[in-house]
Structure 1
C-alpha cells in the first residue's frame, strides 16, 4: 500500500503503561489495585511488597516511562501524555487533561508488545473506561498495533544479547523468558496467541543474534499452585540446566520492554543468586527501556501515513490481534466479562 497523509491523523500521543509505586507507602495500595477481584491473600501481597521495598518502595517503571516520553519528543512533533492502569498518573487523568487541552484524537502506545488479555485486551478496556469517565469531551483514542516482530524490537533485543554474551563464556546457554499467565486465560483473548507470539519473537531475536539453539521459558507466576500456568518456570529450568552441567547462561527477558520489578528482582536478584549458588555464570540482556521511543515513532508513522506494518517476515508468523475500542473486544473474540 502506498503511503499517503491521512486527514484524521492524531494530534497527540498517549503513553499507556502498567504503573508502579514511587514510595514505600504506595506499595500495598498499588498491589491491591493490581490484584483487585482476584482473591490474592494479603500475605502473598506482603511477600511481593518486599520485592519493592528492596528498591526503596520504588518501581523503576514510571521513571523509565518518563524517560521514554522525553526521548520520544526528539522523534515526533505532537503533544505526549502519560497514563497508567494501576497507579498515578492514571489513564483517566491523562485523558481528562487531553480533553481540557482541546485534543480531539490521540494515538495510544501501550507498553506491551503482545496480544492476549493482559497484553492487549486489558489496555483496550483501560482506554474505553477512561473515555467513559471523561464523557463527551473525551478525544478519540486509537491504540497502536502490537510490535513483537517489529524490526527495531528484534534489533534491540538481539544487540542486547550480543552485548551480554561478551561477559560470560562462549558456551553460554541462551534463555528467553516472558511473564507467565494462567492457562485459563485462553478464554480471555488467547493464552495460545500470546505464547505463539513470544515463541516467534524469541526465534527472530535468536536468529538475529546468531543463535541456532536456545530455550524459551516463563517467569513470575503467582496465585494458587493448583492453578496451571504457562511452563516451564525459569528457575526450574535453570536448576535442570545445572544438573546437566551447564556453566553459563544469557537470560533475555523478551517479554518485557522495560525493567519492571519482575526483571530487576526476579531475574537480576533471585535468578542471578540461584545461578551463583549453582556455579553458573550469569548475564542478563538489557531491555529496550527508553530506546523504545524509536519503535513508537515508527508505529505512529504507520498510522499517520497509512502504510503497511513493518514486520520481520516469516512463514509461521502469528497474527496481529485486532480490536474494537467501542466494544473493548479483540479479534479473535475474547471473553472480557
Structure 2
C-alpha cells in the first residue's frame, strides 16, 4: 500500500474539520484511516499477489503461523502492542513489536534492545503472580515478545471505579499500595528492579493482585547495560548511577502520592508530610509517612518491607 500510494498525510476531515491521517484514493478522494490494526489494508485496495493467485487472502494477520492479531492496543515511537489469540491453545495473548531501526541512540541502542531486555527481565520472574507469563520470544529486525494477556485494568481505570464506590481514600491507597509493594518485593527477591513504575504500568486484576508490566527498562542479573528513560515524575535514579531497589521505592511512593492526591509528585528534591497533607487533607498519617519516606529514601534509612508494614 505504501509503495503504491505513499504515506498517510494529515488532512482536515470533511465532516468535523479535525486533523486526521488520511490517504488519497486512486479516484482522487481522501479516505480517513479508521483501521484498528495498522497492518490491515482497505477493502478498496487490491493486492496484486492475491489477484494473480500468488498469495491467499486472510482476514487477519497471522504472526509466526500461530498468533492471530485481533486489535492494536497501543502504538508509540518504540513500536506497537497488539491483542492476539494463540490458535494453538486458544488463549488470549499480548504481542509487542519493536524494530532495531526505531529510537536509535548515539550509543547504538534501539527499541529492539529494550524489548529484548524486557524478555530477559521477565524470564527471571516467571511464575510470580505480579508478572506476565512469557509465551514466546521472536528476535529479528522486527522483534516480537508474546506474553499472556493480563486480565484487569490499568491503575487509573481501576481507581475510577474503586473511588466511585465511596470507599475512604486511605483504604484505597493502602489496598493498592500493599498489592504493588508485594509484587515489587517478589521482583527484588529474583534480582530484578523494574525502574519504570508509573500508574499506567500497573495492572490490577479482579482479585486485587497488582501486575507490573512494561519491564523494558528493568535491571536484572544478566543485564549488560543500564537502560535509560522512564516516566517523568516517577523516576529518580540512584546517585551512584547503579540500579538499586531505591529507584523502585521512589516509584512506589510516587504512585501512592498519585493515588492519594490525584496528581503527579512535585519536581522537588524533598517532599514533606505537610505538602502531602495540603494536597490530600483526608489521608491517614501512616500513609503520609510511607509516601514521605519513599520519596526521600536513601540506602540507610528505608526498606520496602518496612514501608509495607507501616501502611495502615
TM over 0.5: no
Structure with max Cα Rg: 2
**TM-score, normalization: structure 1?**
0.23
The answer to which structure has the higher helix fraction is 1
State the TM-score, normalizing by the size of structure 2: 0.24
Which structure carries more strand by proportion?
Answer: 2
Q: Which has the higher contact order (CA 8 A, sep 6+)?
A: 1
